[in-house]
Amino acid sequence: LLLSDNYPSPWKQTIDRKLGSYGLSPIFLMSLGFDQAKQVVINRMKDMEYQEELNRLARHSRVRIKQGVWESARYLKDLISPKQRIAFFRARFNILPSALLQGRYKKTPIAERVCICGKGEVEDISHVLLYCELYRIYRLLYILPLLERLPRRPDNFYVDFLLQDSNPTITYAVARFCVAAMSTRKK
């Protein structure tokens, strides 16, 4: 004579459904014993959370996914100073403090978003990095040494080269320039 409980417990049914949603069989887990079954469930839950996180992060431009491992943009690790990280981030996303940025919020036509340096040019990222008289000294110190070996290229090439974040030396120099430019702009 064997005693068995044939009552369909709502708890047991809920747990069985939940384990099924994880792709785990209750019978398989019962054969493992409590400690091993617990570890299998924990590992499976972590795997599922990791996959959800990867899917969510894949939508962000600052994150690259390589063979199942996500990593943030290199400059976030290479640049130690938070000011430099913020300044380089702003340059890459074209949100440095400028007439161009202010004009976005005030709905000023692009042609009227000119720099305060007096050249009459739109204050976009190429103007700030390559031409603005306000930042001439910082450009001589940080930017021009990087561009000397690349003469007669279009402005968009130089901007892409400076902001591509493939060489830590270039990234560091551009970040230092951007910090100096932002502090000058505040004055």
> SS3 of 60, please?
coil
Give the residue among 81, 76, 186 at the shortest CA–CA distance from 134: 186
Distance of alpha carbon 78 from alpha carbon 22, whole angstroms: 39
Distance set, CA 34 to CA 18, 28, 30, 92, 150 (Å):
17, 11, 7, 52, 66
Residue 24 has a CB neighbour count (10 Å cut-off) of 17
For residue 127, pLDDT beyond 60: yes
Helices (H), 58-98: 74-78, 82-92
6 or 44: which carries more pLDDT confidence?
A: 44
Say if residue 65's pLDDT is above 70: no
Categorize the per-residue pLDDT at 56 as very low, low, confident or very high, splitting at 50, 70 and 90: low
Give the pLDDT band of residue 61 (cuts 50, 70, 90). Answer: very low
Phi-psi region for residue 58, left (φ > 0), alpha (ψ -120 to 50) or beta? Answer: alpha
Which runs of consecutive H residues, i.e. helices, occur in 7-154? 10-21, 26-32, 34-57, 74-78, 82-92, 99-106, 125-130, 136-138, 144-147
| Residues 158, 147 contacting (CB under 8 angstroms) | yes
C-alpha 77: how far from chain center: 11
Q: Which residues contact 151 (CB under 8 A, 6 or more apart)?
A: none
User: Quick one: pLDDT at residue 170?
Assistant: 96
- Taking only the tens place, the pLDDT of each residue in 93-120 is 888 988 888 888 888 898 899 999 989 9
CB neighbours of 33 closer than 8 A, spacing ≥ 6? none
Q: What is the pTM of this model?
A: 0.62
